[in-house]
Amino acid sequence: MHNHFNGLKTAGLFALIWVLLLGLGSLIGGGRYIWLFALIGLATTFYSYWNSDKLAIRAMRAYPVSEAQAPVMYRIVRELSTAAGKPMPALYISPTPAPNAFATGRSPDHAAVCCTEGILTLLDERELRGVLGHELMHVYNRDILTGSVAAAIAGLITSVAQMAMFFGGGSDEDRPNPLALLGMALLAPFAAMVIQMAISRTREYDADEDGATLTGDPLALASALRKLELGTRRAPLAPTPQVVGASHMMIANPFRAQDVSRFFATHPPMGERVARLEAMASGRHGR
C-alpha cells in the first residue's frame, strides 16, 4: 500500500461517483432505465480505453521516433522497462515547445510514451529519466483504465442529468419532487467532474512515488517538476477540446493558471508533489 493511501482514496472517490450515478438514476423513471445508461457508459469506456493511445497521440500531433532519432530517450526507457520487467513501449515526440510528457495505451503490451520537443530541450538526462519513470508507472498502474472509467461515468452522469432536465424523470407516478430533480440534475454533473479531477490528481501522486522508486532518484523527478512548473507557464498549450481531453495524461498541467481553477485541475500543486518527493528522498516519506 502506498504511504499516502492513494489506492484507498481512489476507491473512495469511485464509490462517490457511483453513488451520484445511482442517486440520479433512481430519480428517472423509478430507476428502470439505469441499466441502459450503464451500457452506454461501458461502451464509451471501452472505446476510450481501447483507443486511448491513438486519441492522445493525435491530439498532440506526435510522430513515432526511432532509436537513431532519439537515442537518449530510447536508452532511458529501455533501461527502466527492463528493470520493471515490462515490454518496451513505442516512443513518440510531439512537435511543440511546450514542455510536457505523457504515457498512454491500454496495457504494457500496447503502450506509448510521448515527450514534447520542449521537455527534451528543458531537462537534463537525469531529470528526463525521472519524468519517464513517472510516465511508465502510469501504464504499469493501469491509470489509463482508471481515467477512462472515471471520465465515462462522469459523462454518463451529465447525460442522465440532461435527460432529467428535458424529460422530467418519467411518467407521473415515477416523477420525483421537481425541486429535488432540478437540484440533482444541476449539481450531479458538477460534482462528478470534481470527483473525476480528484481521481486524476490522486493517480499523479502514485505515479510520482512509484516512478521515483523505479528510478531510485526522487530528487531527479522533483527537479524536473520545478522546471516544468516554470516551463509550462512560459509556453502553455491552448486549451483546445482535443488537448483538454488528453491533458490529464500529462505530467504537468499544460495550460495557463487562469485557464483552469485548482478545483478542476487534473494535477496536484507542484509544490506538494515536490515536497513529497523530497520527503521520500530524505526517508521521511509516510512518517
Segment 252-283, tens digit of pLDDT: 989 876 555 554 567 889 999 999 999 999 98
pLDDT value at position 264?
52
Instruction: Give the residue numbers marked as catalytic.
Output: 135
Cβ-proximal residues to 153 (8 Å cutoff; 6+ apart), any chain: 17, 18, 21, 41, 45, 192, 196
Local confidence band at 4 (pLDDT 50, 70, 90 cut-offs) = very low
Find how far residue 254's CA is from the centre of its chain.
13
Q: How far apart are the first and last CA of the chain?
A: 14
Task: Report the range of poorest mean pLDDT among 33-37, 56-60, 75-79, 277-281.
Answer: 33-37
**224, 212 Cβ separation under 8 angstroms:** no
